[in-house]
Structure 1
Amino acid sequence: MKSERPSARLLDLSRLLSRAGRVLTGVDRVERAYLDALITSNVPAFGLIRTPLGFLLLDESGMQKLAAKIDGDISWGPASRLAKIFSKLPPELQRALTDARKLAVARCTRRGLGRMLKRHLPDRTAYFNTGHSNLTDYVTMGVKALRGGKIVVFVHDTIPLDLPHFQRDGSVERFKLFLGRVSAKADLVIYNSRATQTATELQLAKIGRVPQGMVAHLGVDMAEPDKTALPKGLPFEEPYFLCVGTIEPRKNHLLLIDVWEQMEKQVPPQDMPQLLICGQRGWKNDECFFRLENSRLKGRFIHELSGLSDGAISALLDEAAGIVFPSLAEGYGLPVLEAAARGVPVICTELPVYKELLGDIPVYASVNDSYLWVRRVLSLAESRRTGQRPKKEAFTPPTWDAHFNLVLSET
């Protein structure tokens, strides 16, 4: 695609708007980073949002104002009577949809998307889909109706196909449809790692066509620590470890509960490290939730924290004895990369993406060896207690500047 510079770029913002009022996930943060990059480039940018009634089109001014509302710099306005018709939508999303309609330069029904894009966008527009959502036939046909229109898709992982038994109802079939459209319609696929590219292209080959692909590592945002955003009463008097991310089955929090309960039987209370589980509760994880609720360590050595800001997480990382991440699969694993960038010791499973990006910096431990996890955690806790944090190879994280220098030179 590098040979023909696009006349405009169209970013799908449907997923980002749907997260109104909630803490952004890793995938959401990528879409947010693309919003900033596209409106500050020297190619005209537009935003596309799918709504219950059809589609909205935003220009750069509207995208900037939407970004300020998503970031919380400006509050969402009141929900309109039209938005309230969709009573099953959360109130915050009703307000967000109302504001998005006000910011739009054009709107249309689903069937009218092609006509709307032709009226407002030039030929050779490149459409970016970064959220694994809204890559529908209406969208692909609408973009391709523009002469020279290109479709650029970001694939974050193939976890729905790799671990289907851990997924929400319907998500595996939706992901299969998504990959089918990627195979059939994408002009370029962006991957966050070589590991993701390898896994995805194996799946695409089973479907049919494998589009051109490129790897562009995601930037690691280093939020400013904000201790004032931390909940009161956290046990900072003892070494503590963080596990950051949605509490879902593939994150394997059950192993950490096992490890902490084993440790509690082996060491005196004054030597027990704390475990701070930072994340929202997810899906299909009833056993883990039951264990968290009923563990004898709840509130003593295991603490569940949700809704923490980036600044609060950064503040916790700076003082942590380590981050523990026994995940069974990751597309990128941003919390681990941020911890490594801050010099925080990492204990994690030996996933291909970590070997690719971090090499030998983490302490790798098998999910089948809880004894090794116990030993590594206690060793790092003692190092923190004595003020002797282990020296690790310096890690310089990937940057968004490097990511977009590569991506936008090709699209």
Structure 2
Amino acid sequence: MAEPAARLLDLTRSLRRVGRGATGVDRVELAYLSHLLTGDAPLFGVARTALGYVLLDRDGMRGFHDRLEGRVPWGRADLLSRLPRGRSVALTQAESDLRRLARGRCLPAGLPSLLARHLPPGFAYLNVGHSNLTDRVLGGVKKAQGRIAVLIHDVIPLDHPAYQRLGTVAPFRAKIDRVSAQADLVIYNSQDTRQRSEAQMRGRIPPAVVAHLGLDLPGPDGGELPAGLPPELPYFVVVGTIEPRKNHGFLLDLWQQMGPNAPLLLICGARGWNNSAVFDRLDRLPPGGSVREFSSLSDAGLAALVQGAAGMLFPSHAEGFGLPPAEALSLGSRVLCNDLPVLHEVLGDKAVYAALSEPYSWIRTIEEWAASVPDPRPATTFIAPTWAEHFKTVLKST
């Protein structure tokens, strides 16, 4: 595909997530923003606010990036941002700053005209955050003579709907239908995601590329951990939002079976949704017991905790890529995970795999690893995918 006349990155997810802990998808959108700002080709950003769309040029995107990274504080919320009720202070401040940084803005119906006025024909629209994939946006890009590239992280809401929040499956189905009908290119984070996504497309199958995600690890810093961490005893970690798909209940069952001699299990992540039974079990944990929950560790502190663990446990039912175990291997920690095809694709032979139907295999490995700490494993045996490789694949295609 020829080099586009300009690129337009959708920043709606980054805007909506301001003030909240970053998820894997959030980190991908930020990685795209960071990388595109290093180039010198024409670059724009678009975001949906509560009252319409804002368009940023390169300078405006740099200002937004500086605020997301904490180098510049957010400004005061303006009157327009305070009109819609029930929104966080952080979001109202962010929307206000975007309007101040904007090259142009419009009410929803004016998006095609806004894009045509500022972007040259043949521009490439990049949506990598699963947000703002609406008929208005995709149709507006087409009317302004742009090309559409969409990164699909997974189709778990469609092939594992039982793990989703109430009311989220149908909107996701509609997004995939729009991508199938209108995208000029689909970017997949794994071959497994491509196979699963194309199986869910009910019509046209768009051209596609597969590019594994890069890892952007913070430097481990144990000084950012709260008192008592890391523990002196051998411990295991599980990292991720506490929601049904991540399968924390499986680990709680294992620890119950291992009884009083079980090693420490540190559950690191915010509480999610549809998981009241697991939340009840966590709430009943005795203080100072063998299972402990931590919800707000810094990235650097969490990296230090993972690096010092006897192993990371990853019993997830389904994944699009599997960033936590890839990051753990990069930090030199061992990984025991569910026997998923996508994890084999990303982690290769550097992880230990065990089916969820074989809990005693999990217990045996956990007990062996707990008895073998410290482990002189090298931290360089896992060759992690890089963002440079990812963007080399993606940007020559968009």
* TM-score for both structures, normalised by structure 1: 0.94
Report what 2:108 is aligned to.
110
1:402 is matched with 389
Unaligned runs of at least 5 residues, structure 1: none
8 Å CA contact 1:133, 1:178 repeated in 2 = no
In the TM superposition, what is the alpha-carbon distance from 1:264 to its structure 2 partner?
Answer: 2.1
Residue aligning to 2:335:
346
Q: Tell me the CA shift for residue 87 of structure 1.
A: 2.2
- For 1:56 and 1:28, the matched residues in 2 are separated by 19
Choose from 279, 290, 295 the match for 2:280.
290
Residue by residue over 1:234-265, the C-alpha shift from the partner in whole angstroms, topping out at 9 and shown as x without a partner, is 35110111111111100000011111122124
Equivalent position SS for 2:389: helix
Residue of structure 2 in register with 1:44 after alignment: 42
Match of 1:221 among 186, 201, 216: 216
The separation in 2 between residues aligned to 1:299 and 1:289, in whole angstroms, is: 17
Give the structure 2 partner of residue 305 of structure 1.
294
Asked whether the equivalents of residues 243 and 278 of structure 1 are also in contact (C-alpha less than 8 Å), the reply is: yes
- C-alpha offsets along residues 151-203 of structure 1, whole Å, 9 cap, x if unaligned? 00000001001211111122101110100100110000000000000000111
Over 3 Å counting, the alpha-carbon distance change for 1:391 and 1:371 in structure 2 is: farther
How far, CA to CA, are the matches of 2:294 and 2:358 in structure 1?
26
1:390 to partner: Cα distance: 5.6
1:197 aligns with one of 194, 210, 214: 194
CA distance, structure 2, for counterparts of residue 391 and residue 140 of structure 1: 47
- Deviations along 1:209-242, one digit per CA (max 9) or x if unpaired, are 0000110010011210122211122351101111
Q: Number of paired residues? A: 398
- Offset, 1:97: 1.0
Q: CA RMSD in A?
A: 1.4
> Contact 1:361/1:392 (CA < 8 Å) preserved in 2?
no
Aligned twin of 1:163: 160
What letter is aligned with 1:179? I
Structure 1 residues 161 and 337, CA gap change in structure 2 (3 angstroms): same
Report the secondary structure of 2:212's partner residue: coil
Q: Which residue of 2 aligns with 1:100?
A: 98
Structure 2 contact 303–331 (Cα < 8 Å) conserved: no
Q: Which residue, out of 131, 134, 156, partners 2:132? A: 134
Of 203, 207, 210, which residue of structure 2 is paired with 1:208?
203
- 1:15 is matched with which residue? 13
Task: Report what 2:346 is aligned to.
Answer: 357
Length-normalised TM-score, structure 2: 0.97
1:318 pairs with one of 300, 307, 312: 307
Tell me if structure 1 keeps the 8 A contact 2:330–2:379.
Answer: no
Counterpart pick for 1:375 among 356, 364, 369? 364
Q: Which residue identity lines up with residue 276 of structure 1 in the other structure?
A: L
* Per-residue deviation, 1:363: 1.3
Q: Is the 8 A contact 2:331 2:379 kept in 1?
A: no
Aligned AA (2:34): D
**Conserved 8 A contact 1:258-1:370:** no
Q: Secondary structure at the match of 1:359?
A: helix
Q: Which residue pairs with 2:269 in the alignment?
A: 279
Q: Identity over the aligned pairs, expressed in percent?
A: 49
Question: Is the contact between residue 238 and residue 267 of structure 2 (CA under 8 Å) also seen in structure 1?
Answer: yes
SS of 1:141's equivalent in the other structure is helix
Q: Secondary structure at the match of 1:277?
A: strand
- Distance in 2, Cα, partners of 1:343 & 1:381: 16
